[in-house]
Amino acid sequence: MKQIFTNARLILPDEKQPKEGSLIIDGDRIASADDVSNDEPRKEIDCKGRILAPGIVDLGIFAIDKPAFRFGGITRAALMPDQSPVLDLPAMIKHNAVEGKPDLWSHPIAAATKGLSGTQLAEIGLMKRSGAKAVATGRQWIADSGIMLKLLQYCKSLDLPLIVHSEDAGLTAGAVATNGETATRLGLASATAAAEAVSIARDIALVRETGAQIHFRQVTTADGLTLIRAAKSEKLPVTCGITPAHLLLSDIAISDFRTFARLSPPLRSEENRLACVEAVKDGTIDVISSGHDPRGPEDKRLPYAESAPGMAGAETLLALSLTLVRDDIVSFGRLFELLSANPAKILGVEAGLLRPGYEADFILIDEDSPWQVDTRKMAAAAGNTPFDGLPVQGRVTAIYKGGRAY
């Protein structure tokens, strides 16, 4: 029997705003976004006028955290290779691919180099056969340009996207913040924001040489975004992403040595933050992801310079991203391109859109529901969010994976 979700406001492909209608599910696939004949057997679910959107595809998380993903409306997550052990063997890919099922699709990303050392290519071809949808350099930048060229050539031959971290380690070694007034006032070791643009420029030059598909996981500076725009104008296969933290916070957030605001890449100046918001608005940025990296007290209750970078971002991803709609920076349709359609396209999976034949992964949203971010009440494995205490709006009221509620 088909399921029909009625009285919904649908986020449909190529539509800027939600459109009233019904969604029909046949098994675990979307059948149609139109009504069906009244004499056809069906199970009806009344959505009560709520937004029905594609499930969020979170590209580049560091831990499988199902309670947090459920709260945040994430139905697919691409797991970075920075695990213990590193995801550099086919067996590791197979094991992590089934970790979240049946409630969540986990897409483990293959390590680009053995042990993420940046010195010797991993068995990427075998990992693709084991289910890897992409390759990543992890939290590190590959300094050896010869290795990077070979990696891009290998990814091109295997038709796999490469996800990269963009900070020249020669410039950022030992730094815990971005150069500027805040870092100087706090006496923190800092590095020039130009480390990002230097890294991006090198990698774009190698993409131009190889034609390989590359995704810059987080681009957080005006200079870096200028390089991305230029690469896209050349029609190079380049995409980039960002987290809500880098869109909504500047380096002022690390004042008082707030370790929950220590991120990688670090928070930037207000000028760079505004450049990132403009890049979301003009289409330069393709993906908004959570960067979900839950860190407990053993990593965060330390002096700032000794704490580990990272934030628990899955639960707040949707609510924080909805501020872009309220501020008229993006439309609802564009927001779910950033959260769902584009990351699914990079991974090469039939998800992220309410389109016939695609996986029936979707969420119901009450976009006006108010709540407050509270580290003590978060469902995540740890509550290390820089947004603790922030009032937000927008809550997932139901989540469906393959047409099944969970």
Sequence spans of domains, the chain? 56-352+370-391
Edge-to-edge, what's the strand order for the sheet holding 214-216? Answer: 110-111, 135-136, 162-164, 214-216, 238-242, 287-288
Give the pair of three-digit tokens for residue 169: 């380690």
**Pair of tokens at residue 336:** 């779910």
Peptide linkage before 13 cis (omega within 30 of 0): no
Take residue 263 and report the two structure tokens written for it.
């991120």
Show the tokens assigned to 289: 């992801």
Residues 354 and 400 sit within 8 Å (Cβ to Cβ): no
Identify the residue whose tokens are 């979900």: 292
Q: What token pair was written down for 21? A: 């209608």
**3 state SS of 215:** strand
pLDDT of residue 39: 54
Whether 9 contacts 20, CB under 8 Å: yes
Return the bridge partners of 391, or none: 372
Q: What is the pLDDT of residue 40?
A: 65
Whole-number mean pLDDT of the chain? 95
- Alpha-carbon distance of 245 to 255, in angstroms, equals 15
The residue ranges of the chain whose pLDDT is under 50 are none
pLDDT at 36: 53
Amino acid in the structure at residue 168: D
pLDDT score for 342: 98
Q: How far apart are CA 85 and CA 393, in angstroms?
A: 38
SS3 297: helix
d(Cα 303, Cα 258) in Å, to the nearest integer? 9
How far, in Å, CA of 237 to CA of 368, rounded?
Answer: 37
Whether residue 160 contacts residue 125, with contact meaning beta carbons closer than 8 Å, is answered with: no
**Residue 266, both tokens:** 């670090």
Q: pTM of this prediction? A: 0.95
CA distances from 164 to 17, 55, 80, 296, 392 (A): 32, 24, 11, 26, 31
Residue from 302, 205, 231 nearest 262 by CA: 302
Q: Are 107 and 87 in contact (CB under 8 A)?
A: no
User: What DSSP line would sit under 74-87, residue for residue?
Assistant: EEEEEE-S-SSS-S
Topology of domain 56-352+370-391, CATH: TIM Barrel (3.20.20)
Give me the helix-helix angle, 222-233 and 270-282, nearest 10°: 20
Q: In the prediction, which pLDDT does 35 show? A: 56
